[in-house]
Structures are given as C-alpha cells and as structure tokens.
Structure 1
Amino acid sequence: LIAALLAAQGASAFCGFYVAKADATLFNDRSEVILVRDGRRSIITMSNDFKGDVKDFAMVVPVPTVLREQDIRIVDRRVFQMLDQYSSPRLVEYYDENPCQQWLYSDMMVMDEVAEAEVTNAKVPSMRREMDYGVTIEARYEVGEYDVL
C-alpha cells in the first residue's frame, strides 16, 4: 500500500475526447476549460490548440441534456486571456491567528456537537444508473465552423 501511494503520479483531465481515423496524426498540446456554475445551470467554455487535418476529426464532449442551438456559441479567445490574467498568482499577505492560542474545553465540546448534528442531518441524493450505453444523436447544428451533433 505504501509503495502504491509513493508511486502515484499526477493526473490530467479533459472534458471529452478526440476521434479520428486510425492513421490520422492529431496533436493537442493544450486544452483550457472555463466552468461557471449558477445554481443548477453550468456553462462550459473550451479552448483547444488542435493540430491536424480536420476532415475526418471529431471532438466528443458528453453532456447531461440535449443542447439547443442557442446554447452553443463561439467566444473570442480574449476571454481565456482575460481570465488567465485575472486569476494569475499575486503577492499577498495574510494574517494568521496565534497557533498556540489556548482553547477552552467547553468551546471544543460545543463545536463537536454541531459537527455531529450536521453529519446526522445530511441527506445524500440517490444516484440513478442508466443501463443503456448506446449513442443517440438527439440534435444537429452548424455553429460557426463547427458541426455540432
């Protein structure tokens, strides 16, 4: 077990996958994804630096619902540049409280009771399992230079 933990390596993820003919040469050095959530609504903006012949190429991105044509847009590349600049590391200073502060035992008991009540009252939504693993194309659009199925 310890050897498995020490040998673990970092993982990378992407919101989909590329499909092409077996003899095709596809390259993608960098993919950027912006994910925004507002309540139950999610907006995903993706940028890829795909290199290769687009004639027999597809990018598959699974989505939980059928997208409408007005849900799909091509955005300006500057959106990614602005967000990258906005979220870049900055030099900041934070004040931390005294780590050696003495806590009263009674205060810690109250915190433990609150935490235990939260765990007891938590409700885990049941997960639905779909047994149909087939692929069905529900909608088909042309958005800019892209064919969306």
Structure 2
Amino acid sequence: MTTDSNKLLVEQWQTLHNNHENYENYALIIKLIATAITMFAFTFSVATFVALLILATLWLQEGIWKTFQQRTANAIIEIEDRLDLHNDEQSNELMKPYLLYKQWQANRPAAKTLIAEYVSNSLKPTVLYPYFPLMLVVLIF
C-alpha cells in the first residue's frame, strides 16, 4: 500500500471515528427530548398511554441511532483491516495504530453471552436513565 493511500485511510478512519463518537452526543439529545416530553406530558396532563408510547418510541429511536453508529464502526473495521495488512513492522497487534474497533470486535462474545451483556448493561444507571424513571413518573401521575 502506498504512503498516500495509507494516509487517506488514516484520514477516513479519523473522520469516521469522530462521527462514531458524535453519535453518543445525539443519543444524549434523544434522552433530553424524552425528559422534556415527559415534563410536558406531566404539566399538561397528557394521557398515560400517549406519554408511554412517546417514550417507547424515543427509546426505539435511540436504538436505531445506535444501529447507525454500529454501521460506522463496521466501516472503520474494514479500514483497520486494510491498515493492519500493511503494518507488519509492529509485531504486537495491541500496539498497532488505528485498530481500536477491530480489537473490540475480536473480543465480542457469542450471541447468548452478548444478549446477557446487553440486558446487564441496559440495567446500568447510565442506560436505564432516563427511560425507566420517566415511564415510572408517567405511570404514577
């Protein structure tokens, strides 16, 4: 691989990596919108079913957004594969530059373990918030 094409791959990796990280900001915006809608629903006595439906829709929307993020990660892994093929001067793969996503995917567990990990992570406060508390508020009031 020529130096120019290698440089272009690194630039593409950096761009996609930045986009991948920005998806986290957009996921936070979806959560903030869910919070605002719940406050609106609470203030204006919106029907419980409607509020829950909106929250569930936003939760699903965040899942769709995370799917876009995963597709970006897949593109990054393809770039990392190309960079890895032509980077033989470093013998330790953990030390090779721009292989973050490839290494992450290589350590991904089997389906059952992955589902258990998803459920476990879904119960963490940073993911559970704000959907569960907002749905609880809607149900109570």
- The alignment's TM-score, normalised by the length of structure 2, stands at 0.19
Greater share of residues in helix = 2
Q: Which has the higher contact order (CA 8 A, sep 6+)?
A: 2
- The alignment's TM-score, normalised by the length of structure 1, stands at 0.18
Who wins on radius of gyration, i.e. which is larger?
1
Greater share of residues in strand = 1
